[in-house]
Structure 1
Amino acid sequence: MADVLPSTSASLDVLLKPQSVAIIGASDDASRIGGRPVASTIAGGFKGRIYPVNPKRPTVQGLKAYPSITDVPEAVDCAIVAVPASLVEKTVADCAAMGTKSTIIFSSGFAELGAEGAETQQRIAAAAQNSGMRLIGPNCIGAFSVSAGWFGTFSSVQASLRLAPGKTAIISQSGAYGAHMFYMAQRRGVATDLWVTTGNESDIDVAEVIAYYAEHQDVSTIMAYTEGVKDRDRMCAALDLARAAKKPVIMIKVGDTDVGAEAAATHTASLAGDDAIYDALFKQYGVYRAHSCQEMVDVAYACQTGLFPKGRKMAIQTVSGGIGIQMADESVKNGLEVPAMPEALQQKLLGLIPYAGVRNPIDITGQVLNQPEVIGQGIDLSIRESGCDAYATYLASAPQAPGLKDFCLQTFKDLREKHPETPMALSMIATPEIIADYEALNIGCFEDPVMAIRAMAALSQFYETFERGQPDTPSALPAGVSEVPDRLVSEAGAKAILASAGIPVTRDVLTESAEEAVKAWHGIGGPVVLKIASPDILHKTEIGGVLIDLNDEQAIAEGFEVILNRAREAQPDATIEGVLVCEMVSGGVETVLGVTNDPALGPAVMFGLGGVFVEVMKDVTFRLAPFGIDEAHRMIGEIKGRAMLDGVRGAPPADVKALAQALSRLSVFAAENADRLETIDINPFVVLPDSAVALDAVIVPKATVLAGDPAVR
């Protein structure tokens, strides 16, 4: 951690909790970019010292102004730079010379515009680094702390404040999106204090701010927006800190990158994509990936209760059968279970409402208008006897209906008194004042019943992440492991490399004549597969370069010649090493293992079932390399076809432990060859009842892609 992302507390405290600030380019007009931070900070009740810098005015908004930062009487904790791009470099140099501890650069016109702007930005960042001054931006809209009264931003967020400072913190690479996150959080009842936008990230980036929030005692939940990760190790270290501190991270990631899917024509590369690899990062560190700002703030809102379900069993009670079905569907889609209520409990519920649906969801129907007491009775019984972990209730507009309003509120007061630690969510339509009464009971309220379920699923995910703690350490590779070469190798070469890393492969013999092939068959002692061995022919079946289930001398001798002739006819210029004689493996479950090397996040391991599952359904999952056995098991559990490995239609269970071990070893091999590797495809990797084995493999070195080798086109 120390090497990748050193402790950030002291250097970012001066940015977010400054005692003295300067606004360079300060305006007397509170509506202008240089005027807004002055006005907002004054209005925010900032207790520190404010130094407006404007050479054309003696005062700015009632405060004494200074001609230059060099005229300010002290080395300030934070300086805002709101001057034209052409003046920024000189201004930052003056700040550094004056001992300014941190700088926020509003100005744009740097790396986002091209090479010349990027060079200027690099010089600015170097000047700051040489002086020890921290820097946010350029091209950002600032940072603030509500509790400190410091609004170092030209956004009008201070005027939109509705809530007292809370323990949710925001970090956004995009300034405008960061402001939108804050506005929506305020409207949703998510109490926020710290807020940072990073812009071009010439120094401070999203990862460092996440790490700061993870270490900050007054932050409990982190909302983040990013368009990409520039340094994988820094981001992983930051997310690891948040996980260790048991602080939920809710993140939106947008934008696409080219992960080389066209250059390396393998299953792994074609199934990988920017989203898939970022999903791997988020799954690995327990980050909840939101796909809209509304979803993000709803999950952050749910986190404020501090009540995380200790399992995935969901009990649903509803006044509408249709809504109950929708909530049940959404539960299953989000990995929650909706178990049938125990028979004894069902009978007790029927005793309350003879015509209710009582399996789960519990549909108390419109009878609630005549028997409002069944709301509390039904939930109380469920909490005491269902064995579920979380409880969601849909009440439509009942909590604000005349004659029901006070009764409903008292019902949930009684429930909360009886069950103070039980995670509960309500979906209802009510005024903000009524909703506030339920929120005071630590019960989350959602207009949309789907979002109520999704939020509870997120809380369950966070609990699991925090409970499992630090990941297990992957085992080291065996001594003498071969590294990825600079050129393409045939299947024989690829299997030899993988075998050296401890990944099981079939027994194979590379032969150069029909006689050698027959001899190899005798040595294997059973049916074999013949394959063309050529580093220039990666897709052997496309040219008829594979013959299966051969088990006599004549078939093998003839097959040897057939395969050679087909290869020479299809690709006359291909280098032919010979024919590979492989043991024939029958039975088991076909899976696919792979590696793709993402430009931003590095090598990621893919796993999925073979056949239609990968070809059509694309039922795969990814993880960043390296990882241990426990993470491999979580990967295996994520795919939709997981039950195939447990044995279906009388088939014995597959050796999942051997599969997990192979995934972990592949991840370590990929991590150690990150600078040399483009992709790996192990397809199929057959998982048998008592073992697992690779039947075929392709390794594409990075050097061959860079060189434009036609074999990987």
Structure 2
Amino acid sequence: MLDQLFHPKSVAVVGVSNDPTKIGYTVLQNLIRGSFEGGIYPVNPNIKEIQGLKCFPSILSIPESPDIAVIAVSAVKSLDILRECTVKNVPFVILIPGGFSETGEAGVRLEREVQTTIMNSNTRVLGPNTVGVYLPFSKFNTALTPPDKIDFPKGGSIGLITQSGALGLMMLDECAGQGIGISFFINVGNRSDLNECELLEYAFGDVNTSAICIYAESFPAGRGLFEQVRKISRVKPVVILKAGRTPTASKAATLHTGAMATNDNIVNGLITQSGAIRAYSETDLLDYGRVLAYSKKTTGNRVAVVTTAGGIGVITSDYLTSEKEGVSMRMGSLEQYTKERIRKIILPFGSAENPVDLTADGSVSQFTEVLKALEEDRNVDLIIAYPLPQTPKMSLEIVNEIKSVAENDQKPIIAGVLGSKLSKILLNEFEKRKIPAYPSIQRTVKAAKALYLYSSHILGGENLDE
């Protein structure tokens, strides 16, 4: 039961400070600036009041048992405070400090003390070595970064679980910059207690979460985790970025979070069998999460491409169909009726073949009508659309038109929006409407492949064109 972790009504911050360089100062700032509506209890025996809030000398002196206690003191000092949390029956502790298993044998022993301390208690620990959590729907933010150094994303449908804290913060900032909304961010750190299995179980039942993205350097829960993923992925897509694939990277992961090395061939097999989609970069992780969260499933791998720039269609065809440099999908062979219908829509010097080229003279209405024709073609399973804003007759209205076609028909549409000036605006408008859109050909095509792979897992290959 993680309700109090995901929807806390009160929080204690141990180690608050008036010094902006201290962790406790940052955590308190983020809670206040995030407009958390529950009780906030700063804890520091040397301070009477901080930022308009009464400060308490210890956890034990707080008048209630807070749902969460954030411990922002050194590793050694944190153990005594953790013991007080167990006495106070604090349900969840976010143990921020490093200096545990990621630092060597002495740290390993210290982390074992954490586990011993909470044994047979009602207290659960997130961390140690964690940057905390960000829960937009609860207005709860204990992220370990000053609010002037990062933008936090709005509420959305993608859940984010990371083992690395700083990488997680970077991804939050990236999500905010792209207008991507998230349902939650949890940094598990060293996983002395709470791990991905329990978080996945909660996300499975969370109405705000449509897809779950995980960054991990090791899987201590082993096959148990992948059994959990197997169950969840039948209903909600799971994307996993597993780092430490090479010997050099694996050694770095051990030094980073105390992660144990794992054979990547075994990991890859487990990910595939579980129905999760594997990402190989932080960009892939968010790209795949979005396409899976926003799109209908595709019944096959036959792709139709429509564009206002012929060259983009040709490059897309190469990347789609190539086995070595691309994603090894298929270009759909359009039905004759579809081609005749498209010829009546586009200009004479355009192309009604796949990829369909409206040329730079293509308008919003022509683009929309071509999409409708492709949606009705029995040889097409998925559509990639490039409504390039640099062409003279293209406008922001294309976003609403694509949204309307995608909602009213069965075939998923993925947009590619290349360029800079107007493209950024267009990408943001697509994101607001939960239409997956990407700023490069490669990212657009890879997202299409991820959607196909996930759909094939769900449909069991029964109705898929191989």
Q: TM-score, normalised by structure 2?
A: 0.87
Q: 25, 37, 40: which is aligned to 2:27?
A: 37
1:229 aligned partner: 219
- Residue 141, structure 1, aligned to residue 134, structure 2: no
Q: What SS does structure 2 have at the residue aligned with 1:456?
A: helix
Checking the alignment, whether the CA contact within 8 Å between 2:178 and 2:428 is kept in structure 1 is no
2:18 aligned partner: 28
Q: 365, 368, 382: which is aligned to 1:376?
A: 368
1:364 aligned partner: 358
Name the Cα RMSD after superposition. Answer: 2.8
Distance 1:301 1:53 in 2: 39
Residues 1:327 and 1:90: Cα distance change in structure 2 (over 3 Å) = same
Residues 1:50 and 1:410: Cα distance change in structure 2 (over 3 Å) = closer
Q: What SS does structure 1 have at the residue aligned with 2:79?
A: helix
Which letter does structure 2 place at the counterpart of 1:322? G
Residues 650-669 of structure 1: pairs in structure 2 closer than 5 A: none
Distance 1:146 1:71 in 2: 29
Q: How far apart are residue 322 of structure 1 and its match?
A: 2.6
Checking the alignment, whether the CA contact within 8 Å between 1:318 and 1:361 is kept in structure 2 is yes
What's the CA shift string for 1:647-683, capped at 9, x where partnerless?
A: xxxxxxxxxxxxxxxxxxxxxxxxxxxxxxxxxxxxx
2:342 aligned partner: 349
1:153 aligned partner: 143
2:449 aligned partner: 457
Distance 1:144 1:410 in 2: 31
Distance 2:8 2:119 in 1: 19
Q: How far apart are residue 161 of structure 1 and its match?
A: 4.3
Residues 1:410 and 1:209: Cα distance change in structure 2 (over 3 Å) = closer
Residues 1:467 and 1:291: Cα distance change in structure 2 (over 3 Å) = same
1:310 aligned partner: 299
Residues 394-473 of structure 1: pairs in structure 2 closer than 5 A: 394-398=386-390, 403-405=393-395, 408=398, 412=402, 415-416=405-406, 419-428=408-417, 429=419, 430-439=422-431, 442-468=434-460
Residues 409-558 of structure 1: pairs in structure 2 closer than 5 A: 412=402, 415-416=405-406, 419-428=408-417, 429=419, 430-439=422-431, 442-468=434-460
Q: How far apart are residue 423 of structure 1 and its match?
A: 1.3
Q: What SS does structure 1 have at the residue aligned with 2:236?
A: coil
Q: How far apart are residue 188 of structure 1 and its match?
A: 2.2
2:251 aligned partner: none
Q: Which deviates more, 433-442 or 36-45?
A: 433-442
Distance 1:316 1:323 in 2: 9
Distance 1:307 1:21 in 2: 39
- Residue 252, structure 1, aligned to residue 241, structure 2: yes
Residues 1:413 and 1:184: Cα distance change in structure 2 (over 3 Å) = closer
Checking the alignment, whether the CA contact within 8 Å between 1:318 and 1:365 is kept in structure 2 is yes
Distance 2:147 2:280 in 1: 23
1:292 aligned partner: 281
Distance 1:128 1:350 in 2: 70
Checking the alignment, whether the CA contact within 8 Å between 2:364 and 2:393 is kept in structure 1 is no
Distance 1:78 1:414 in 2: 43
Which letter does structure 2 place at the counterpart of 1:165? G
Q: How far apart are residue 103 of structure 1 and its match?
A: 0.7
Distance 1:441 1:203 in 2: 38
Q: Percent identity?
A: 25
Which letter does structure 1 place at the counterpart of 2:367? I
Runs of 5+ unmatched residues, structure 2 = 248-261
- RCO higher in structure (CA 8 A, sep ≥6): 2
- Residue 201, structure 1, aligned to residue 195, structure 2: no
2:310 aligned partner: 321
1:337 aligned partner: 330
1:620 aligned partner: none
- Residue 278, structure 1, aligned to residue 267, structure 2: yes
2:385 aligned partner: 393
Checking the alignment, whether the CA contact within 8 Å between 1:16 and 1:144 is kept in structure 2 is no
Q: 68, 85, 92: which is aligned to 2:75?
A: 85
What's the CA shift string for 1:406-453, capped at 9, x where partnerless?
A: 664575466457x34431122224354444444455533222122112
Q: How far apart are residue 42 of structure 1 and its match?
A: 1.4
Which letter does structure 2 place at the counterpart of 1:81? I
Q: What SS does structure 1 have at the residue aligned with 2:98?
A: coil
Distance 2:221 2:149 in 1: 35
What's the CA shift string for 1:503-548, capped at 9, x where partnerless?
A: xxxxxxxxxxxxxxxxxxxxxxxxxxxxxxxxxxxxxxxxxxxxxx
Q: What SS does structure 2 have at the residue aligned with 1:167?
A: strand
Distance 1:323 1:431 in 2: 15
Distance 2:139 2:347 in 1: 55
Which letter does structure 2 place at the counterpart of 1:140? T
Distance 2:12 2:398 in 1: 53
Distance 2:61 2:317 in 1: 66
Q: Which deviates more, 334-343 or 195-204?
A: 334-343
Q: What SS does structure 2 have at the residue aligned with 1:153?
A: coil
What's the CA shift string for 1:47-99, capped at 9, x where partnerless?
A: 21111110111012221111111212222211111112221221111211121
Q: TM-score, normalised by structure 1?
A: 0.58
